[in-house]
Amino acid sequence: MRETIINLETVNPIEFFGVNNGKLDILKKKFPLLKILSRGTQLKLSGAPEQVDGAKEKIDLIVQYLQRNGHMSENYYTQILGGDDAETIDNFVERNPNDILVFGPNGKTVRARTANQKRMVTSAEKNDIVFAIGPAGTGKTYTAVAMAVRALKNKGVKKIILTRPAVEAGENLGFLPGDLKEKIDPYLRPLYDALDDMIPADKLGYYMSTRTIEIAPLAYMRGRTLDNCFIILDEAQNATDLQIKMFLTRIGANAKAIITGDLTQVDLPKNQKSGLLKASRILNNVEGIGYIELDEEDVVRHKLVKAILRAYDKEHLREQEIEEQEMKVRKERRFDRERGQ
């Protein structure tokens, strides 16, 4: 039996314990064999030595993160407690200042948070074109924009071009008032939001007015040659085969491109196929092109997003099974009719 007292005076107790001790309950569930008591700014651990040491190691990581950032979501809290591999631990411990992609307004640091996001950064450093495919909330677009802003600030490129297919996601925006830019901006809003996190408003306004940063629909890329640029094609699952090919062949000298998409959220009309799956398949082994697949473990939004994705994946599998069973029944009935004739 071992007892250890951990002092939490250097962090906000509410951030560590959570509202109504919600985060403390997560800690207790992770280490059910330990007796864990909170007293003010102290945490007392009692139990087997290996259990106490394991819990203390994770708690130290949480304290380090809170000292550095001031706030930690329950999602991150759970990730630290559940991650036993070195890559997961590296996501939360600032071992190398070079891990920071961008310093945003008010000193905010933007970095790759998960193992696959870090692989995405590494792949983009090695390759001129990278496909990053995964579900909503995995940080594909945000990480890509951070890399583009870093390249611009480091004078690695002269321009950033952010583009998306202008495809309606179930809503008809064509009758909204305003000029073409005002009609298209709703499709491109997530890109503006990411930039707002990374560049002060006055400087971003200057970059936009001088077209150092350009945000435009995918159709506007036709016929252009993009030299000395960092180009991001976002929501690429809504680009057709010809559009993806057109985009990839725009890339010029000293240019990098990241193509992000979620193959589970295709909003194209039923008679059109997404070109993203084909492009990632036929170009996967081409030298200079990287491919990163993110999954639900990379979700960095609200903790419920991960649960939502799992529920939809489960339902999708159930629907597939029902469809396959119905197809089997139809085949059997057709075979019986043919045999009866």
Q: How far is CA 18 from CA 23, 197, 302, in A?
A: 5, 25, 15
The reported pLDDT for the residue numbered 253 is 93
> How does pLDDT run across 195-224, given as a tens digit for each residue?
988 998 899 999 999 999 998 888 888 888
What does DSSP say about strands 42-47 and 35-39: parallel, antiparallel, or unpaired?
Answer: antiparallel
> How does pLDDT run across 2-56, given as a tens digit for each residue?
889 998 888 888 888 988 888 999 999 999 999 999 888 889 999 998 899 889 9
Q: How many CB atoms neighbour CB 15 within 10 A?
A: 19
Rounded CA separation 106/341 (Å):
79
How is the beta sheet containing 159-164 ordered, strand by strand? 213-217, 159-164, 229-233, 256-261, 129-133, 289-293
Q: Give the pLDDT band (50/70/90) at residue 98.
A: low
The reported pLDDT for the residue numbered 2 is 87
Rounded CA separation 258/263 (Å):
16
Residue type, 9: E
How would you classify residue 76: left for phi > 0, otherwise alpha for psi between -120 and 50, otherwise beta?
alpha
Q: Give the pLDDT band (50/70/90) at residue 76.
A: confident
The rounded Cα 169 to chain-centroid distance in angstroms is: 19
Q: Which residue, 284, 282, 278, 300, is CA-closest to 197? A: 300
The reported pLDDT for the residue numbered 169 is 47
The reported pLDDT for the residue numbered 41 is 84
* 296: its two tokens: 């639900």
Contacts of 26 (CB under 8 A, 6+ apart): 18, 74, 77, 78, 81
State yes or no: pLDDT of 170 exceeds 50.
no
Mean pLDDT of 150-155: 91
**Model pTM above 0.75:** no
For the chain, give the mean pLDDT: 83
Residue keyed to tokens 């045999």: 339
Instruction: Say which DSSP state 251 is in.
Output: B
- Start-to-end CA span in the chain (Å): 80
Rounded CA separation 127/142 (Å):
19
> How does pLDDT run across 217-269, given as a tens digit for each residue?
888 888 888 999 999 999 999 999 999 999 999 999 999 999 999 988 888 88
The reported pLDDT for the residue numbered 171 is 47
Rounded CA separation 188/106 (Å):
25
State yes or no: pLDDT of 134 exceeds 70.
yes
Phi, psi at 179, each rounded to 5° = -80, -175
Q: Are 21 and 15 in contact (CB under 8 A)?
A: no
State yes or no: pLDDT of 141 exceeds 80.
yes
Mean pLDDT of 93-101: 60
